[in-house]
Structures are given as structure tokens and as C-alpha cells.
Structure 1
Amino acid sequence: MKYLTASSCMVASGNPLAIDAARAILKQGGSAIDAAIAADVMMGVVEPMATSIGGDLLAMVVEPTGKALAYNGTGRAPIAFTDTLLNQFKNHQIPERHGLSITTPGVVMGWWDLHQRYGKMPWSNLFTSGIDIARDGFRIAAIAAREWKIFDSVLHYDPTSSALFRAGDPPKAGELFRNPDLARVLENIQQRGPQGFYQDFPARACAQASQRHGGVLHEDDFDNHQGNFCEPISQKFKDVTVYECPPNTHGVAVLQALGDMADLSFDEMDEPIVVLRSVQAMGRGMEHAKKIVADPAGNTVCTVVVDAHGLAVTLMSSVFKRFGSGISAEGCGFVLQNRGFGFAGPGHINSPAPGKRPFHTVVPAAATRDGQFFASFGVVGGAMQPQGQLQLLLKVVGAGHTIETAIKAPRWRLESADTLAIEDGMPGDVVAALRSAGYKAPTFGELGGRSDFGGAQWIMRLPDGSYAGASDPRKDGAVWGE
């Protein structure tokens, strides 16, 4: 089910198997964090083009008291990185898919840190469903199969990835796919905690994979990795306070755009002037983010959970571009992220350096109203993440639309300062106003020639204290609650 109301607890995630994993944990008495981790473990199994334990994790937590807290689990550039390594590349910038694009994965430590603070279930319980599905196999979902096929070309770069993910013969929707190597790694993490990843054979395999393709990632980078909790940045919009993770993410773009829109009336959300103002505000917000962080793009998964005690979390993980670096750790069943491509060129505030975190597109978010939980949400899709959040917030908070109506509505996506993709179904007068304002149609998009309009997961508290949840029909996900 894509839309639902419930009175006690709720989960929205990107695949029904992730929903099943989270629901089982909640029914056993686990917390929202426990459930979100179990769902994210599963997402790394069933959507390997989007996330894996070779990627990064960020989260936004709203405690039952209404306090919001961010978690940054993003990895860093290798300690052995030197500027001279960039001399071989055009514009002295790390290529999109190369051994140097691999940064230290932060997902597993992120799970551990979140569980240590908010978990109720034993750590080992969170992995059972994901391990079983990886070993026994799962049916490929429709949209995942489409993306797998579109990005098959990425898998031909590395022999390990080619064999693991069937380069040249991507699995079709409904086909059974097994990943026993990933099941073995997850079992090691289940039994040993983060040490089973950062101080064991997966770390060695990742370092070797990076070095085979010209990178300098080392086992010491894994041993030294740490994530951190931090205070979120925020912006008041109408009667809610919206929270985003601080840089190195581009959540600041959402907050700046909301601030620019605060004086506008939203009585008619689809009026051309409202949509045009929102596009212009988003453009300014994204330009601001580029100056203080870097250029955005990417792919992600999102799980949102609220438990019966009022703890809420938006947990997002990602390997950046689809299938990340295209380089897999031999014998481990997962692809490594290419977040190093998020670094800017020399002289920029976001230029690469040893142990430095790159610009990050993942922006889990939440909102409170009158000091209490109002909503937890995220939109996957790289540069669409802040743009999708803005459009949904304007509709739900600004215009009072239901979340179902807001998510179904057609979206726009800025591809560059003057290039705007517009999803089918946008009212004709709005399209005309946007094109007249100088926003041209793109000739290409991020997803195989088509613009990606994102996939939202959203849970919000209704005035009577119950919850409304939604999982974007643009993706394979679902929502559950009781």
C-alpha cells in the first residue's frame, strides 16, 4: 500500500521486503531506530544499485520530547590521498567512477552508533531478515529492474562487479536473485558488530578493490572511521520548524528556499506565480549550496519510521551514483560508493584532502510543530532531494494538501540554472509560465535520458494524534502502520 493512516506506529520504505523487516522488529518491541536499521539492511540487499554497506548513511531523529538530532555517517577521503594524484585527470578532478572516487563506507558504523543510542532489540536481531533474503534470494522489483538495466554499463568496468551483478544480462522484474557473499558479510557484522566490517576481511577486500583501480584506500581508513551526532540546522516555515543535516550535505538549500517563500500565499498551490517563485527560490538555494559545499547529484534509499513511543527517524543510505563506483569488494557481494566524485576541483572549499568528507547529496529531514513531532521525510534522487522536499513542504505545510495529494502531484526538477525538467501532468499554464521565464527543457536527464523526479517517503502526525504515511508511487516502496 502506498498511502495509509494509523494510530500507533508506521513505516515507509522503498521496498515491501524492507517494510516486512521493519514491521517484524516493531512487533517484537523494537524501537523506530531498530526497525529503520533492519529495513536499511534489507534495502542494501534488494536495491544494490542504490545502496549497500559500501556506502554512507545519514539520519534525522526526532525524540519523543520533540528534540531533533542529526547523525552524519559519511565517510572520508583516504589518508594516503595527495594532490599529485589529480594530475592525471582533466581539470584535476576525480572522475565519476575510478578507484580514487571511493571514500570510506559509513553505513555499518552508522547503524551501530544509532543502535547504541536508541536501540532496544539485540543488535543481532536486526540482520536476520536481510541475511535470509540475501542467501535464499528475492524477486527483483519492477523499478529496480528498470534501473539495473539502464545502468548495466557501469558494471562492465570491474570484473568483480560484472560477475556479481550479471553485467550484460541484468535480472528482469520478478526474477530471483541471490547474493550469498553479501549474506556472509552481513553475518559477520551481525556476530561481531562494526568490527566485523571495519577490522576484518571486508575492509581488506574494499582496500584491495580500490587499489586495483588506481585508488589509495587502505585498511587503516576503515579502522579510523567514525560517524557523529550533531545539531541539525533549521528554518521556521509557516507554523512548523524544518530540520536538515548541516554541511557536508546540501540540506541548507531547502532551508534557504523555504525562507525565500515565507511571505507567499499558497491558496492556489498550482498558480503559475507560486510554482515559478518556488523554482527561482530553489535555484538560489542550490547555488548557495554550491558555493559553500559543492555540486549535487546521486542516488539513495530512504526509510522513515515512527514507533509507539513517539520516537521518529528518517534514515537514508546511498552509494551515490547508481552502482556507485562500479567497483565491488571481491567475495563480499556489494559495490563501493563513489562519493569522491562529489569533491570539487582545486581551490574550492570542497576540494579533496586526506581524511576530508566530500559534499553529500543525502538529506534526511524532519519537522516539528509547537515543539512536538510533525513529520519525518526524505526524497531520494540526488539533486532532486532538496527540490522534492521543497515541493512537498510547500504543498503540505503551505497549502494544507494531504500527503497523498502532494506526493501524486507532478514535479519539476532543475537540471541547471536555466534548464528545468517538468513531469507529465503539470498544468499547461504553469508549464507556459516556466518556459516563458526562460527555463528551457533538458535534452538529457539523470536516468537514462529521462529526468528523475525522485521518490519520497513521508510520515506525519495528524491533528488528532494519528499518523498519515506515504511511499512514492514513482518507486517500489510501501507503507505500513497500525
Structure 2
Amino acid sequence: MVATGHPLAAQAAARLLALGGSAVDAAIAADAVMGVVEPMATGIGGDLLAMLVPPGAEPQAYNGSGRSPAAFDPACLAAFPGQRLPERHVHTLTVPGAVRGWHDLHQRHGRADWRLLFGPAIEAARQGFAVSPVSAREWALFQPVIAADPVSARLYRADAVPAAGTVFSNPELAATLQAIAEDGPEAFYQGPAARAAEQASRARGGVLSASDFAAHRGEFAAPLRGRFRGLEVLECPPNTHGLAVLHALEALDALPLDPADPATAVAMVDAMDAAMAEAKRVVADPAGNTVCTVVVDAQGLAVTLMSSVFKRFGSGIGVPGAGFALQNRGFGFAAPGELNGAAPGKRPYHTVVPGAALRGGAFHAGFGVVGGAMQPQGHVQLMVRTAAWGQALQPAIDAPRWRLEARRALAIEAGTPEAVVRALRAAGYTEPAGLGELGGRSDFGGAQVVRRLDDGRLEGGSDRRKDGMALAC
């Protein structure tokens, strides 16, 4: 079973499974396609994180997030309000970790030939694909981001943003992916793409360099664990805010959580608000927008793989001749002096949190909810709906959500029962209008879930808020 954000990605995953590839092979193939068909959300200019549950073995988290440039000087922050970088600025550039992440995952869990993983993505980039409705809407909404950079403006057609159904191709990206397929990650981290990225950074006064690319490494780690309603919930450790999910679920597990009582919604938001505030305080490097793919193969290997360029189109800074834009994860740093303060060679607070759950020590579900700060909030809402309330998977995914945009600032999705809305507003959670790029029109995310039923069958769900699908393979 695969659940992912675009039909072409689902088909790519199914193809790899049919060829004898593992769940990880299928997830990589799907993720590579997602970087072609949703360039505002992900791509080789972004990061990758994953949660893996191998059959009969310990779960593993993978952190492929990149670091700030080695030459970054925190003294430059004195010029910015609150010593915080703007959302899109050349100093928010961090090293892209996705390509190295694909390779690290494949080395440990792949079965198919590396070169086979990229065929569907290369074909979509070279021959073109029909832009899907959700992507077209976001492309138009964030046109000013790509219009501000000459490389991105040309690459992503800022002068005539593609409408839904328009065929869009990216031959420069196809060539870069072809080089990665033929020569491995070194083609990206020690080749023309890295040098072109340095050129793009230097042209704007930045310090991201080809040597930063060459130095990038990801790592496997033990996941964080917590319990909720008989399940063991797995989240990625810092520098992600996955621990916020576990803190919120721990606070909620002892409560009755009556779905008919609006006070339950208030308790959920209160728990999430406190958990995210704690995460903001303690999450940092221990040494947006996003896409999610969940795959379970016939051997029982399960993977939740998520990649992201952070904000839509990332930094907006395109890499000349390489077909992609660089991420802006440095916006996640706090002011100097704080635990998550900006510094050279450091990973910022990261919003990408692939998750999974075990029942009786065995795989129960793999899940992710894209959308920056929506991700841990989406995990909690899905877990309450499915594990505490016993809702069916697809209705639980499609149900209206709430989203904390800041302390006590709460967006509430249309369709939420009026009694719940009144209870949340009476509890002091205000409208978030004017906060950030999506203030007042919040992104309530997009979930992808695969879970194993009691009879051993697999069930998949894909969010109606995105263009994706769940596909039995």
C-alpha cells in the first residue's frame, strides 16, 4: 500500500514494488516525482526525514536535514528586527539533505537498482506533466516569491503561472536527476549543482558554498516514543518538533476525550499549545511546506518519508541550470543566545515530522501531515480521532481541523461544529488574521496514512486537501 500526494508519485511507487523493490525504494521513487510535480513544496533543494519500521526489528528515524553554512556569521543578525532572519533571505539558506537522504535510506533498506528509482521523475520532468489543481492554486498564490528571483522566475514561469491542466516540464531538473541516477549523490553534492548553488548564494551576498554541500551528512537514530490509547507512538528526535506530539498525547491520554463535548476540543488545543511552546523552548540541533509518502511492502517494511523546501518555493532562490530552488530552513533559527540560536554549521528547528505507531510491538500505522507547524498538530488530531474516538481512517483524515498559528492564535477550518468554535473562542483562542503569509487563510495540511487492520490487511488514506491518493499495490 502507498499513500502519497500525487497520482504520478503513487504510480512510481507501485512500479518499484512491482519490480521487486522495497518500501524504501518505492518511497524514494515517489518522493523524486513529488519534487517534479510540486516544486513549491519539495525537491532536491530541500530536506528529507523518515520513520522506518522494519519487520521484527527496532524502528529507526532518519534525519537528513541540512546545516547552515560554515561561514555564516551571526553578527549579521543585528541588522534584522529581533535579530531574526526574514522568511525569505539569502542567509536562510541551509544545505539540502534530500538527495543524500535518498541514498542513505537506499543503502540500508533498498533492493532495487539505484538507477531505477528515478525513471518516473526524470520522465515527468523531461516530457512534462499536467499541473494538478492544488499545485496550480499554490503556484498562483506564491507567484511573488518566484517573481523576485530571475532564475526562479524563468524556471517556474512567473510571467505566466501554469493553470491546472497546463503541461509543465523542467528539462534542467531532468538532467540533474539523470546525473544523480547515474553517478549517485556525489553528482549533486560534489558536482555542478553544488557549484551553481554557491553561485546563486554569492550573487545575493550569501555564504552557502560548494564545500558546505560536500560536508553534508545525515544519520539514523532511535525514535522518540510515547503511549496513547494502547498504541506506542514514534516521532523523530530533535532538531524536529516531534516531541511536541508526544507531550500533547501524554497530557490527553488520561482524559475522557468525549467527542460530543466541545470541552474536549479545548483540552486538545490547550495540550497542543503547551507542547509547542515547550518545543520552541527546548528543540535545537542536538549535535512549511512539505510532502509525505507512506509505503508498506509485502515483506512488512514500513516507511513514512517526508521532504520539504520549507516555505512555498523555499527561499525562492533558483539554482542556475540545475532546475530547482534552495530551501530557507534558516528561518527556523531563534535569536542568538537562545538554545536554537543561529550559528554556523548548525541545524535549525525543523517542522518535518514523519510518524508511525506500533500496536503490541508491531507496525500499526505510518503517517504524516504536511504543512509546517500543522504537522504535530495534525498528528495529535488524527491520533485522537482514530485511536481515542475509533473513527474510520478516511473520515478522520477529512474532518475539519484547527491550527495554532501562534500562542493563543487559532485558525479553525470551515465545517467545524459551531459549538466547538464557540468553546474555543470563549477559551481565549483568537483569529490569527495577519500572521505570516497564510495568516487568515491557514494551511490545514495534508495527511497520508497507511495502517494495518486487525485481520492483517492494509488500509490507506490520502487527504482531500491535496492532489494525492492511496493505492493498493
Match of 2:246 among 238, 248, 255: 255
For 1:66 and 1:429, the matched residues in 2 are separated by: 45
Q: 1:122 Cα deviation (Å)?
A: 0.4
For 1:137 and 1:448, the matched residues in 2 are separated by: 33
Q: Which secondary structure state, in structure 2, belongs to the residue aligned with residue 302 of structure 1?
A: strand
Counterpart in 2 of 1:3?
none
Displaced runs of 4 or more, over 4 A? none
1:469 aligns with 2:439: no
Q: 1:94 Cα deviation (Å)?
A: 2.1
Quick check: 2:240–2:351 contact (8 Å CA) kept in 1? yes
1:191 aligns with 2:182: yes
Counterpart in 2 of 1:145?
136
**Mean CA deviation greater in 417-426 or 322-331:** 417-426
Q: 1:449 Cα deviation (Å)?
A: 4.1
For 2:32 and 2:100, the matched residues in 1 are separated by: 13
Instruction: Output the TM-score relative to the length of structure 1.
Output: 0.96
Quick check: 2:244–2:272 contact (8 Å CA) kept in 1? yes
1:213 aligns with 2:204: yes
Q: Which secondary structure state, in structure 2, belongs to the residue aligned with residue 356 of structure 1?
A: coil
1:300 aligns with 2:290: yes
Q: Deviations 1:406-433 (Å, cap 9, x if unpaired)? A: 1121111111221111111111211111
Match of 2:173 among 182, 185, 188: 182
Q: Deviations 1:26-83 (Å, cap 9, x if unpaired)? A: 0111000000000000000000000010000000000111521000000001111122
Counterpart in 1 of 2:262?
272
Match of 1:339 among 329, 332, 339: 329
Corresponding letter in the other structure for 2:445? G
1:460 aligns with 2:451: yes
Match of 1:84 among 75, 89, 103: 75
Counterpart in 2 of 1:17?
8
Q: Deviations 1:296-319 (Å, cap 9, x if unpaired)? A: xx1100000000000000000000
Corresponding letter in the other structure for 1:216? V
Counterpart in 2 of 1:391?
381
**Mean CA deviation greater in 424-433 or 359-368:** 424-433
Corresponding letter in the other structure for 1:435? R
Q: 1:270 Cα deviation (Å)?
A: 4.2
Corresponding letter in the other structure for 1:256? H
How many residues of Structure 1 are paired with residues of Structure 2 in the alignment? 469
Q: Which secondary structure state, in structure 2, belongs to the residue aligned with residue 457 of structure 1?
A: strand
Corresponding letter in the other structure for 1:58? L
Match of 1:48 among 39, 42, 47: 39
Quick check: 2:432–2:440 contact (8 Å CA) kept in 1? no
1:379 aligns with 2:369: yes
Corresponding letter in the other structure for 1:150? L
Match of 1:367 among 357, 361, 368: 357
Q: How does 1:55-70 map to 2 (within 5 A)?
A: 55-65=46-56, 67-70=58-61
Quick check: 2:433–2:439 contact (8 Å CA) kept in 1? no
Counterpart in 1 of 2:30?
39
Q: Deviations 1:187-232 (Å, cap 9, x if unpaired)? A: 0000000011001000001111111112101111111100000011
1:96 aligns with 2:83: no
Q: 1:84 Cα deviation (Å)?
A: 2.4
Counterpart in 2 of 1:285?
275
Corresponding letter in the other structure for 1:416? A
Corresponding letter in the other structure for 2:213? F
Instruction: Output the TM-score relative to the length of structure 2.
Output: 0.97
Q: 1:440 Cα deviation (Å)?
A: 1.4
Match of 1:224 among 215, 219, 222: 215
For 1:315 and 1:56, the matched residues in 2 are separated by: 11
Quick check: 1:66–1:372 contact (8 Å CA) kept in 2? no
Q: Deviations 1:416-466 (Å, cap 9, x if unpaired)? A: 221111111111211111111111122246537411111000011111010
Match of 2:423 among 417, 433, 452: 433
Counterpart in 2 of 1:123?
114
Quick check: 2:245–2:275 contact (8 Å CA) kept in 1? yes
Counterpart in 2 of 1:409?
399
Quick check: 1:78–1:354 contact (8 Å CA) kept in 2? yes
For 2:384 and 2:223, the matched residues in 1 are separated by: 21
Q: Which secondary structure state, in structure 2, belongs to the residue aligned with residue 475 of structure 1?
A: coil
Unaligned runs of 5+ in 2: none
Q: Deviations 1:163-200 (Å, cap 9, x if unpaired)? A: 10111321000000010000000000000000110010
For 2:398 and 2:50, the matched residues in 1 are separated by: 25
Counterpart in 2 of 1:5?
none
Q: Which secondary structure state, in structure 1, belongs to the residue aligned with residue 259 of structure 2?
A: coil
1:238 aligns with 2:232: no
Task: Pick closer, same or farther for the CA change 1:129–1:357 going to 2, 3 Å.
Answer: same
Corresponding letter in the other structure for 1:74? S
Q: Which secondary structure state, in structure 1, belongs to the residue aligned with residue 325 of structure 2?
A: coil
Corresponding letter in the other structure for 1:315? L
Unaligned runs of 5+ in 1: 1-9
Match of 1:330 among 320, 327, 343: 320
Q: Which secondary structure state, in structure 2, belongs to the residue aligned with residue 217 of structure 1?
A: coil
Quick check: 2:4–2:469 contact (8 Å CA) kept in 1? yes
Quick check: 1:66–1:368 contact (8 Å CA) kept in 2? no
For 2:135 and 2:416, the matched residues in 1 are separated by: 26
Corresponding letter in the other structure for 1:153? P
For 2:346 and 2:397, the matched residues in 1 are separated by: 36
Counterpart in 1 of 2:20?
29
For 2:276 and 2:83, the matched residues in 1 are separated by: 24
Q: Which secondary structure state, in structure 2, belongs to the residue aligned with residue 36 of structure 1?
A: helix
Match of 1:162 among 141, 153, 175: 153
Q: Deviations 1:137-180 (Å, cap 9, x if unpaired)? A: 00000000000000000012211011101113210000000100
For 1:228 and 1:12, the matched residues in 2 are separated by: 25
